[in-house]
Chain A
């Protein structure tokens, strides 16, 4: 008799503790490694200001999409907008909100860390395996004052499904018919040559370790690891160094009505870096699924609203470009369209 009363009391206490546990909201997100440094920073700042903790797992854009599809995360992060065909396999309709803009740089490991000038066809041929050595005449012609060694090129690509790969291959398909027919566009590709690294950090690590390696990573990874990156010739014929400024420039193009159709690769902008992209956060349009508590949904939507407004101040110190005003306006419209039980969460 005594024992069962004690047990009952313990059970009530535990239940009370569990209910009272909803004090601090915790959100879970997963996806792209491309914006991971930016997201880490803003989530940290937001938790300091508002007490909402966000657990973000950088597993790649494909992973972010899959986890959202499986409803294991509150939001997914992807560098590429989900294709219509893939979107049909999701259990409900979802929205894609642009968060920040970044660029993909071509980084390499050469003695003396020279800054090389490369044209788009050379980049395509490097990753196709047609150009095999660093002292190839086409590269030396563009870089007469750099002593290029006779080292073999080791291409480093992604081994996991990646939005960075999708953006890069989208650019290559636009500038090289050869690439388009042989490899194509996608988050996972049948790479003709090279070794694979996991995530942006994996590629950066491999390029840093292998002499003569060449790979593609988001700008911040090259900057923070003090790795050299190539200057590319853009569509307007200008030589552009990947930087915060040239990434922002690439975004100064006419934004289509459906912002998810915007594509910045091989940008028309005169001084824009040719391999830039927006990166997106995906959430379901109707948030009342699987008994999601309202306070959690409100906390998440407030976080996302903050990210496209005040959160943008943290982008530039990390060399990500802020969203252009036109894009922020579109993001606001999309955010306001997310509902809970039919009524919009944000007013």
Chain B
């Protein structure tokens, strides 16, 4: 596995060396993406990727926890539980492009209906819509794992807590969740990984504006999306090389976030 990872890293490095040398360090600090003057800077995409993924993660984690507590503690078995569990797992099986269409035809009008009364330009597409869509895409991963972790909490801990006079919700918040913390974080990390690399669904709802923006209701772009859009037509050598350099950057950022996440999970698990 690690040999494969190293091989991927080096092949990306090799094919983007032309751009690394030409763009230099400004590649990471600048935000201009101009194929006409051959000026390529990646900050707009890095920020776009991180902002959409993090907002999606927050939304998804809240939803996933709610689902997990419901299915892992309150409705452990029975028809309702089976239906919910299947539904959540099916969400994971929907292809990315289909999510893109759902986003385009369902989420975009909804977000536009929110933007108009707020006086914002009614794009509909943008960072917020993307984050919302991503949240639903990554929900199954964290929800399923969190549910497993919660149902694995030993029942004598729960019984002890209840017998000491705690209410059911107090047991959930103060006994079950802290116990399952490590595993839940692991599931959250897995879903963050998917959010960072998601391409097709993102490219359909993010608005493809290659500009740096922190405004969640404005269109933006992510690293995976710009590669998908511009790769097949990148005609000049430096253009292609710069797109591969973005791929390299995405690879590095994903790896770093995963490592950081593993450290956090370990800290939480071993108390």
B36 interfacial contact with A, CB 8 Å:
yes
CA distance A222 to B259 in the complex (A): 50
B95 interfacial contact with A, CB 8 Å:
no
A98 interfacial contact with B, CB 8 Å:
no
B123 interfacial contact with A, CB 8 Å:
yes
User: Cβ of A66: which chain B residues have Cβ within 8 Å of it?
Assistant: 232-235
Interface 9-residue window, one of A183-191, A309-317, A329-337:
A183-191
B203 interfacial contact with A, CB 8 Å:
yes
B125 interfacial contact with A, CB 8 Å:
yes
Contact A186 B208 (CB under 8 A): no
With contacts A198-B203, A209-B108 taken as known, whether A188 is within 8 angstroms of B122 at the C-beta atoms is no
CA distance A329 to B250 in the complex (A): 51
User: Cβ of A63: which chain B residues have Cβ within 8 Å of it?
Assistant: 232-233
A189 → chain B closest CB, angstroms = 6
With contacts A86-B235, A160-B229, A188-B233 taken as known, whether A197 is within 8 angstroms of B208 at the C-beta atoms is yes
CA distance A152 to B115 in the complex (A): 13
Contact A187 B233 (CB under 8 A): yes
CA distance A86 to B38 in the complex (A): 14
Contact B123 A210 (CB under 8 A): yes
With contacts A152-B121, A159-B208 taken as known, whether A190 is within 8 angstroms of B34 at the C-beta atoms is yes
Interface 9-residue window, one of A54-62, A251-259, A294-302:
A54-62
Q: Mark B27-44, 1 if CB is under 8 A from A, else 0.
A: 000001111110100000
With contacts A184-B37, A212-B122 taken as known, whether A191 is within 8 angstroms of B233 at the C-beta atoms is no
Contact B121 A198 (CB under 8 A): no
A107 interfacial contact with B, CB 8 Å:
no
Contact B209 A196 (CB under 8 A): yes
Interface of A, helix, strand, loop or mixed by DSSP? loop
With contacts A184-B36, A189-B35, A190-B33 taken as known, whether A196 is within 8 angstroms of B229 at the C-beta atoms is yes
CA distance A212 to B104 in the complex (A): 17
By size class, the interface of chain A is 35 or more
B127 → chain A closest CB, angstroms = 12
Interface residues of B in 138-167 (CB under 8 A from A): none
B16 interfacial contact with A, CB 8 Å:
no
A202 → chain B closest CB, angstroms = 9
A211 interfacial contact with B, CB 8 Å:
yes
B111 → chain A closest CB, angstroms = 11
User: Cβ of B108: which chain A residues have Cβ within 8 Å of it?
Assistant: 209
CA distance A60 to B104 in the complex (A): 22
B183 interfacial contact with A, CB 8 Å:
no
B169 interfacial contact with A, CB 8 Å:
no
A65 interfacial contact with B, CB 8 Å:
yes
User: Cβ of B123: which chain A residues have Cβ within 8 Å of it?
Assistant: 154, 195, 210
CA distance A183 to B32 in the complex (A): 12
Q: Select the residue from B35, B108, B208, B219 with max chain A CB neighbours within 10 A.
A: B208
A63 → chain B closest CB, angstroms = 4
A201 interfacial contact with B, CB 8 Å:
no
User: Cβ of B170: which chain A residues have Cβ within 8 Å of it?
Assistant: none
CA distance A189 to B39 in the complex (A): 11
User: Cβ of B112: which chain A residues have Cβ within 8 Å of it?
Assistant: 210
Interface residues of B in 38-75 (CB under 8 A from A): 39
Contact B203 A161 (CB under 8 A): no
Contact A195 B209 (CB under 8 A): yes
Chain B residues close to A by CB (< 8 Å): 32-37, 39, 104, 108-109, 112, 121-125, 203, 207-210, 219, 229-230, 232-237, 239
Chain A residues close to B by CB (< 8 Å): 59-63, 65-67, 86, 89, 152, 154, 159-162, 183-191, 193-198, 206, 209-212
A-B contact pairs, 9 of them (CB 8 A): A62-B232, A160-B230, A160-B232, A188-B234, A188-B239, A189-B36, A190-B32, A209-B104, A209-B124
Top 3 A-B pairs, shortest CB-CB distance: A62-B233, A161-B233, A196-B208
Q: 12 additional contacts, CB 8 Å, given A66-B233, A89-B237, A198-B203?
A: A59-B232, A154-B123, A160-B230, A160-B233, A161-B233, A184-B36, A184-B37, A186-B36, A188-B230, A198-B208, A209-B104, A210-B123
